[in-house]
């Protein structure tokens, strides 16, 4: 089987925005390059994409489901292919890339509720960024996916930010 005949790994991704409309990004712990990304991960057997998204928030950044509120689910799925030098090497050689369902969540907690010291840490640091800057922070082979996710959620991001009062509370 050709590496490009491999299937896509089913995954869920989360754009987590705070009261200021900024998006969470974490700097990956498993690379020497400066690689930032939003929380994402595989969908386990018997799990739906939204369940996986909430689980990933807990596993990757220590955020419990009661600290988030769903704003929107992006329509459809988003795909990316691994670069040729990674296909067949990562994820035990089972996948050519990922197909992802994306969710936009409002973060209801405080920054102190974010904890990268999870049992299997994925990020070494984190920050809040303007969502429009996300594609410039991600590894190049995921950039188009991030641009597509932003486009799919753009109306919801605008609406979510318009529902904030001056003190950051939701109307």
Residue-level pLDDT, tens digit, the chain, 171 residues: 566 688 889 999 999 999 999 999 999 998 777 889 999 999 999 999 999 999 999 999 999 999 999 999 999 999 998 888 777 777 777 888 899 999 999 999 999 999 999 999 999 999 999 999 999 999 889 999 999 999 999 999 986 665 554 444 443
Task: Identify the bridge partners of residue 78 per DSSP, sorted by sequence position.
Answer: 100
**CA count, 13 A, side-chain hemisphere, 87:** 17
Summary count for the chain: helices (H), strands (E) = 3, 8
Determine phi and psi for 41, rounding to 5 degrees: 180, 175
Distance CA 105, CA 23 (A): 10
Q: Residue 128 has what pLDDT?
A: 98
Q: Residue 3 has what pLDDT?
A: 62
Q: Residue 133 has what pLDDT?
A: 95
Altogether, the residues listed in the chain come to a count of: 171
**If residue 107 lies in a helix (H) or strand (E), which one and from where to where?**
strand 97-107
């Amino acid at each position: 089987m050709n590496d490009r005949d491999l299937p896509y790994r089913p995954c869920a991704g989360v754009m987590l925005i705070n009261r200021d409309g900024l998006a969470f990004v974490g700097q990956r712990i498993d690379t020497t390059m400066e690689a930032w990304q939003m929380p994402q991960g595989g969908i386990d057997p018997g799990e739906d994409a939204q369940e996986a998204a909430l689980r990933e928030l807990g596993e990757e950044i220590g955020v419990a489901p009661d600290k988030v509120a769903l704003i929107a689910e992006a329509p459809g799925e988003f795909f990316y292919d691994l670069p040729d030098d990674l296909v067949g090497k990562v994820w035990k050689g089972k996948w050519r890339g990922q197909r992802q369902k994306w969710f936009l969540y409002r973060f209801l907690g405080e920054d102190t509720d974010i904890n990268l010291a999870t049992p299997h840490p994925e990020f070494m640091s984190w920050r809040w960024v303007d969502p429009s800057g996300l594609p410039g922070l991600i590894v190049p082979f995921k950039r188009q996916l991030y641009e597509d996710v932003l486009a799919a959620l753009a109306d919801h991001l605008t609406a979510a930010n318009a529902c904030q009062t001056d003190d950051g509370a939701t109307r």
